[in-house]
Amino acid sequence: MESERILARAEDALRRHGMEPRLAQRARAARRRSFFGKVKRIAAVAGVLTVGLPLWGLFIGPVGAGGLMIAVLAFVVAAVALMAFPRAPLVAGEVLPTTELALLPLKTEEWLAGQRRALPAPATRLVDGIGLKLEILAPQLQALDEREPVAADIRRLIADELPELVKGYQRVPLNLRKEGLNGISPDKQLVEGLAVVDEELDRLSKQLASGDLNRFATQGRYLELKYQGDTA
């Protein structure tokens, strides 16, 4: 099956890089930043109480056992609320269509990292491969004119079609994702759709590289004709 071939190719690319998938690294790093950010805010609350209670007793009046219990209770409630507060996504999918083209591959990669845990295992392997291709594509877009037809193709693929594929899958109820309706499995459709995205990214990257190679060859030929011709 075509999707199985793409899965094998994605896994091979990840093995060649010899590292944990970049998207998994991004997602884990985001969770770590979120956790330590919450710890810092809890420490700030503890610091405010530690400084505030003596100042209250010094300038206003004795805190007393009752006041101390209220302060401890307030700290516990604040700590629980801060730890339970949901982590903001790396990038909201809604911002991708308006993101500058040069930044779009890496922003899309960050958005994918935030979706990774909600996808089935075969899809995450493809998503990791797509993440690698987005990293390769990023420097190729730095000087690309937004008016170029290939620029419109890239923007449509990674800012519209890829997010809609993933979000469309996530809208399907959990109990229907494996079997679906009428024998059509959303899990399988997601994998096959991601395989198409993977191949299209590869094609677009090669198209851009071909144009760069042609321009480089033309520039080299120009220099040869200009300078070697002058010395002939």
Query: Does 1 fall in a domain?
Result: no
Question: Half-sphere exposure of 124 toward its Cβ, with a 13 Å CA cutoff?
Answer: 16
Query: Does 10 fall in a domain?
Result: no
Q: What one-character-per-residue DSSP string does 56-104 give?
A: HHHHT---HHHHHHHHHHHHHHHHHHHHHSPPPPSS-GGGGGGS-GGGH
Final residue of a structural domain among 38, 65, 84: 84
Q: Are residues 54 and 136 in the same domain?
A: no
Q: Are residues 178 and 116 in the same domain?
A: yes
pLDDT band, residue 19 (cuts 50/70/90): very low
- State mean pLDDT over 19-31: 55
Query: Does 6 fall in a domain?
Result: no
Phi-psi region of 183 (alpha: psi -120 to 50; beta: other; left: phi over 0): left
Cα–Cα distance for residue pair 42/48, rounded to 1 Å = 10
Q: Are residues 119 and 227 in the same domain?
A: yes
Q: Are residues 37 and 105 in the same domain?
A: no
The per-residue pLDDT for range 175-203, each reduced to its tens digit, is 888 887 777 789 989 999 999 999 999 99
Percent of the chain with pLDDT over 70: 72
Question: Do 6 and 199 touch, CB atoms closer than 8 A?
Answer: yes
Does the pLDDT value for residue 30 go beyond 70?
A: no
Q: What does pLDDT average to over the chain?
A: 77
pLDDT band, residue 219 (cuts 50/70/90): low
Q: Are residues 130 and 105 in the same domain?
A: yes
Q: Are residues 131 and 149 in the same domain?
A: yes
Query: Does 11 fall in a domain?
Result: no
Q: Are residues 106 and 193 in the same domain?
A: yes
Look-up of token digits 């997602």? 27
Q: Are residues 120 and 51 in the same domain?
A: no
Cα–Cα distance for residue pair 192/6, rounded to 1 Å = 9
Q: Are residues 101 and 122 in the same domain?
A: yes
Query: Does 8 fall in a domain?
Result: no
Does the pLDDT value for residue 148 go beyond 90?
A: no
Q: Are residues 53 and 125 in the same domain?
A: no
Q: Are residues 118 and 221 in the same domain?
A: yes
Final residue of a structural domain among 28, 52, 84: 84
Q: Are residues 51 and 113 in the same domain?
A: no
Number of folded domains that form the chain? 2
- State mean pLDDT over 63-77: 79
Final residue of a structural domain among 37, 63, 84: 84
Classify residue 119 by its DSSP letter: S
Question: What kind and span of H or E run contains 163?
Answer: helix 162-171
Query: Does 7 fall in a domain?
Result: no
3-class SS shares of the chain: helix, strand, coil, % to 5:
80, 0, 15
State which residues form the domain around 190: 94-231
